[in-house]
């Protein structure tokens, strides 16, 4: 299949009306279109069409029990899709939508079980990104979209990443620049009395608690689950975000981290392994290593979040076999950064 790739004016999408009409026509005919959102690029199909949705699973190589997020472009689109909207959900929608947070509701029959991975609930997201919203609006129906990467690979924050993973497997990629936040949306389940955070993101636990009070955090967010334990978001059980290299996180005081990584670098070089470090602006000059990937300023976690997946992809571009990454504080967006980093590292963490 030939994958059409078209750039659009992401500040004023109306200037590229013809591209959006082409994309809308493809998705209306049951095709797959990747599009940018403020979190990561999504791979879209008509959320209400089980045959179209199945194609998403095939293109990504995604297990069919892993439900998809349904994207809308205006609030009124949610009512036919969900059974009830609790007071807390309503508050979250009012404060954070449109934006990088996904909310889980009980679904109506309009959502096919292919979209919800066989669950009785559905995840709904109202993105802020103008290209995403204009595309959904032109399609005229809600769009199911997982991150537009091959299953298990880091999520794409640029159209070029989507092309690398999915070229010739999907109909079209709308290139609307880079994804500002760079980490997938926060996911919160408000269907029970105490809302539960299933995936941390740029809308932080602290921001949510300031809005609706105390929430719980699914165990899978913070640590590796034991055999047989299940995360509440099925997708959190899969190894995810991994570059091809082996990633190890080093956690501790900065000076200790630097000296530990330097001694590990020596060991790798002696074994003839190509080694790299995911370092920060503060530490980039302190490692005895040629392959330094600077993820950003340690004091600007928003910048670190937005560079995380591209940094993991760089490990592959450099052909590294071992990568050491500095740890970050798990407060605010730090919780989301460490959640993705720990998964990339297969929970391989050395405390120093
Ligand atoms: O930022 C995002 O959310 C991006 C953009 C494209 O919107 N999408 C995204 O989708 O990250 P995906 O498929 O890569 O991740 C969706 C996660 C999976 O872990 C899935 O298991 C979980 O959401 N999920 C979806 N529906 C659910 C449901 N009804 N109950 C619990 N978890 C659900
Ligand atoms: Mg994903």
pLDDT of amino acid 230:
87
Distance CA 26, CA 18 (A): 12
Atom number of ligand 1 nearest to Cα 184 = 1
On the question of a common fold for 4-221 and 246-351, the answer reads no
Q: 235-285: per-residue pLDDT in tens?
A: 877 666 778 899 999 999 999 999 999 999 999 999 999 999 999 999 999
Substitution site in 45, 146, 179, 230 for ligand 1 pocket (most atoms within 8 Å of beta carbon)? 146
CA-closest residue to ligand 1 atom 10:
146
Report the share of the chain in percent with pLDDT over 70. Answer: 99
Closest ligand (CA of 117):
1
pLDDT of amino acid 214:
95
Which fold, 246-351?
A: Rossmann fold (3.40.50)
Q: DSSP code of 155?
A: P
| Average per-residue pLDDT for the chain | 95
Q: Are 101 and 201 in contact (CB under 8 A)?
A: yes
Which fold, 4-221?
A: DHBP synthase (3.90.870)
* Nearest one of 336, 328, 342 to 204, comparing CA atoms: 336
| 79, burial (CB in 10 Å: exposed 0-12, middle 13-18, buried 19+) | exposed
Q: How many CB atoms lie within 10 A of CB 74?
A: 12
pLDDT of amino acid 238:
64
Q: 11-45: per-residue pLDDT in tens?
A: 999 999 999 999 999 999 999 999 999 999 999 99
CA-closest residue to ligand 1 atom 18:
235
Task: Find the range with the poorest average confidence among 68-77, 181-190, 233-242, 321-330.
Answer: 233-242
Mean pLDDT of 281-310: 97
Tell me the CA–centroid distance for residue 58 and ligand 2, in Å: 14
Is the pLDDT at 67 greater than 70? The verdict is: yes
Q: Where are the domains of the chain?
A: 4-221, 246-351
CA-closest residue to ligand 1 atom 12:
146
pLDDT of amino acid 327:
98
Q: What's this model's pTM, rounded to 2 decimal places?
A: 0.95
Atom number of ligand 1 nearest to Cα 149 = 14
pLDDT of amino acid 193:
81
């Amino acid at each position: 299949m030939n994958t059409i790739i078209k750039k659009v004016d992401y500040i004023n999408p109306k200037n590229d009306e013809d591209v959006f009409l082409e994309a809308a026509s493809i998705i209306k005919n049951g095709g797959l279109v990747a599009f940018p959102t403020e979190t990561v690029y999504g791979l879209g199909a008509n959320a209400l069409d089980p045959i179209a949705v199945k194609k998403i699973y095939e293109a990504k190589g995604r297990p069919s029990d892993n439900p998809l997020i349904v994207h809308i472009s205006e609030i009124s689109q949610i009512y036919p899709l969900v059974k009830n909207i609790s007071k807390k959900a309503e508050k979250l929608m009012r404060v954070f939508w449109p934006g990088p947070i996904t909310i889980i509701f009980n679904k109506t029959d309009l959502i096919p079980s292919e979209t919800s991975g066989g669950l009785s609930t559905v995840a709904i997201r109202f993105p802020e990104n103008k290209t995403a919203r204009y595309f959904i609006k032109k399609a005229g129906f809600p769009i199911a979209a997982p991150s537009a990467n091959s299953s298990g690979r880091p999520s794409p924050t640029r159209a070029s990443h989507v092309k690398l993973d999915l070229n010739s497997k999907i109909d079209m990629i709308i290139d609307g620049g880079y994804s500002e936040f760079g980490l997938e949306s926060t996911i919160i389940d408000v269907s029970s009395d105490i809302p539960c955070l299933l995936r941390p993101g740029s809308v932080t636990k602290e921001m949510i608690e300031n809005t609706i009070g105390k929430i719980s955090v699914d165990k899978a967010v913070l640590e590796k689950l034991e055999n047989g334990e299940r995360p509440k978001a099925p997708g959190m059980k899969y190894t995810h975000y991994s570059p091809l290299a082996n990633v190890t996180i080093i956690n501790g005081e900065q000076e200790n981290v630097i000296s530990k990584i330097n001694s590990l670098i020596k060991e790798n070089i002696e074994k003839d392994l190509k080694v790299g470090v995911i370092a920060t602006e503060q530490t980039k000059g302190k490692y005895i290593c040629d392959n330094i990937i600077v993820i950003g300023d340690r004091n600007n976690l928003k910048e670190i979040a937005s560079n995380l997946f591209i940094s993991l992809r760089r490990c592959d571009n450099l052909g590294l076999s071992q990568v050491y990454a500095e740890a970050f504080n798990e407060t605010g967006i730090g919780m989301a950064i460490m959640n993705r980093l720990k998964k990339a590292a297969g929970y391989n963490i050395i405390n120093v």
